[in-house]
Amino acid sequence: MSKIYVYGDNVDTDVIIPARYLNDPSEKALASHCMEDIDPSYAGTVEPGDIIVGGANFGCGSSREHAPLAIKVSGAKCVIAASFARIFYRNAINIGLPIMECPEASASIKPGDKVSVEFSTGKITDETTGQVFQAAPFPPFIENIIQSGGLINSLKARGLAK
Amino acid sequence: MGMTMTQKIFAAHAGLASVSAGQLVEAKLDLVHGNDVTTPVAIKVLEDNGITQVFDKDKIAIILDHYTPCKDIKAAQLCKTARDFSRKHNITHFYDVGEVGVEHAFIPEKGLVVPGDLTIGADSHTCTYGALGAFSTGVGSTDMAAGMATGLNWFKVPSAIKVTITGKFKPFVSGKDVMLHLIGLIGVDGALYKSLEFTGPSIKELTMDDRFTIANMAIEAGAKNGIFPVDEQTLAYLKGRTDRKPVIYEADPDAEYEREVVINLDELDSTVAMPYLPGNAKKVQEVKGIKIDQVVIGSCTNGRISDMHAAAQILKGRKVAHGVRCIVLPATQEIIKEMIEDGSYMDLLNAGCAISTPTCGPCLGGHMGCMCEGEVCVSTTNRNFVGRMGHVESKVILASPAVAAASAVKGELADPKDL
């Protein structure tokens, strides 16, 4: 069962991965500094399958793809948020970090809750409280990118990138 | 249903007669660019996927501006990666130290974007070129890689917020105050996924540099882009910079807007954003007097020639207060030359400013002015997030060049009209 990390509104990309670490985009470096400026304990405690829950405008600020990459390589399974900043949203889809937009789940899930998610249906279940939430579905165009395994794969499948 | 300026640019680049808000389109790109932080990640995406061709070597720009001149060994490696890639693909618009400027000041200065263009850049402040009546937006490195490989990318056509500008500026008030006020009004996600379409009788009161500053910070309201109508000032700016023909789009009279905001310049005062969000707007009169350690004047938001002049006008014949470090970063080499020729460079030097070569540097806590625990900076940059300029317990107050310069003189957050 997943551990939950709950953060508030406007989690920006500078706290997800501070710019002082952008000189090293290796997976190991990104994972070791992930969330450092909002939660110094995150990188040392996160385990594969854990879930990050944010409020509104998650991932605002810089376009750095290092931010969703850091979360992905840190082992977190997905991010649930009330809303996502648009560049972070694109980046997460493009690199294959699962994101779920669900204001109700974002408002209800508490640290320590046991939560399970089902990406194919967008169903989020808080096993602790018994509440079930439905994340916003992706449009078919974006769903196709996700199913292809990211943007580049979807372009290659169409013979567009050589 | 009529279209906004942004929607018309999307329709033209997607080969469609019309588009509407929410529609997903694949559009042709006129320019794809990246910097020393984001380009190496895009190069890795291409290499990992065995992609060896770029769509058009003339429509890609690679600009080494963030950690340059390189702050450390790792940054030097990033630059080398971007440099080697640019040589290998014979990228026309590759710019390195000695020639390079801060990308969003440099790209318009070089005439690489004209009205009607649709461009993406792997840097969130790419939205700056909306000042020229182009659509431009920031993306991540994978989008940059896809753009470099195909010359295409996907977009959701945005709905719009109409921002009408009326009135005339008071002394010392400028484009930065307009934008900090607007973000304060609508919030840091007030324009999420939308375009900010600027219009109104007082667009003509805004210099091109004001418009660049305003469009630059559209992202700070969550917007996809910010865009200005094309007028005589725009066309005058383009003169001598490019041979490409501008394509001028105007919003239809029946274009649909989700919301309209009016900003009356007659009522606008010098405005700052307090830590830790660009939306924490206050009139400087309400918060003046806060002791400061550092002032930064520069960046893609406010590192242009009129920003340098606004600062020099205040600092000329005065001194930076004892105990305050005032770091000035003109955004391009051309701006430095102009400052040397018109004397503003010496005015700032004589006042006790440290003047840097062009770099993003301290704006993102990279180098050239990082802060330690407890320090406070008044900065003309664009973000004041936790830890943005260094330690998580340091603070950044966002302000115009005039407010920053006045604060440097007084050693505390100050209103230039009080000097």
- Residue to mutate among B81, B119, B143, with most A CBs inside 10 A, is B143
Go through the domains of chain B in sequence order and give each one's CATH number: 5-263 (3.30.499.10), 270-418 (3.30.499.10)
B144-177: pLDDT as tens digits:
999 999 999 999 999 999 999 999 999 999 999 9
Cβ of residue A64 closer than 8 Å to a chain B Cβ: yes
CA distance B272 to B295: 13
On whether the CB atoms of residues B298 and B380 are closer than 8 A, the answer is yes
- pLDDT value, residue B380: 98
Q: Would the CB atoms of B365 and A85 count as touching at under 8 Å? A: no
CA distance B66 to B1: 43
Q: Which residues does chain B have within 8 Å of residue A139's beta carbon, measured at their own beta carbons?
A: 24
CA distance B223 to B209: 20
Q: Which of B45, B108, B39 minimizes the C-alpha distance to B68?
A: B39
B64-120: pLDDT as tens digits:
999 999 999 999 999 999 999 999 999 999 999 999 999 999 999 999 999 999 999
Go through the domains of chain A in sequence order and give each one's CATH number: 4-136 (3.20.19.10)
On whether the CB atoms of residues B137 and B225 are closer than 8 A, the answer is yes
Tokens of A138: 């992706």
CA distance A71 to A47: 11
Among A19, A85, A94, select the one facing B143 at the smallest CB separation: A94
Among A12, A57, A64, select the one facing B37 at the smallest CB separation: A64
Give the E-state strand segments of B167-245 in sequence order.
195-199, 225-227
CA distance B8 to B20: 9
- pLDDT value, residue A1: 63
Q: Are strands A99-101 and B281-283 parallel, antiparallel or unpaired?
A: unpaired
Among A25, A56, A156, select the one facing B189 at the smallest CB separation: A56
Q: Would the CB atoms of A12 and B385 count as touching at under 8 Å? A: yes
pLDDT at B59 over 90: yes
The complex scores an ipTM of: 0.95
**pLDDT level of residue B219 (50, 70, 90 thresholds):** very high
Tokens of B363: 């704006």
Residue B118 corresponds to which amino acid? L
Among B78, B140, B392, select the one facing A23 at the smallest CB separation: B78
Q: Would the CB atoms of A87 and B140 count as touching at under 8 Å? A: yes
- pLDDT value, residue B111: 98
Tokens of B282: 């206050």
Q: Would the CB atoms of A152 and B51 count as touching at under 8 Å? A: yes
- pLDDT value, residue A141: 87
Q: Which residues does chain B have within 8 Å of residue A158's beta carbon, measured at their own beta carbons?
A: none
DSSP, collapsed to helix, strand or coil, labels residue B123 as coil
pLDDT at B398 over 80: yes
Cβ of residue A96 closer than 8 Å to a chain B Cβ: no
B251-298: pLDDT as tens digits:
999 999 999 999 999 999 999 999 999 999 999 999 999 999 999 999
On whether the CB atoms of residues B172 and B235 are closer than 8 A, the answer is no
On whether the CB atoms of residues B101 and B68 are closer than 8 A, the answer is no
Per-chain mean pLDDT for chain B: 98
Q: Nearest-CA residue of chain A relative to B124?
A: A63
- Residue to mutate among A13, A15, A23, with most B CBs inside 10 A, is A23
Task: Give residue B125's Cα distance to chain centre.
Answer: 5
pLDDT at B357 over 90: yes
Q: Would the CB atoms of B154 and A141 count as touching at under 8 Å? A: yes
Q: Would the CB atoms of B140 and A62 count as touching at under 8 Å? A: no
Q: Are strands B93-95 and B60-63 parallel, antiparallel or unpaired?
A: parallel
Per-chain mean pLDDT for chain A: 95
Q: Nearest-CA residue of chain B relative to A82?
A: B189
Report the predicted TM-score, pTM, of the whole model to 2 decimal places: 0.97
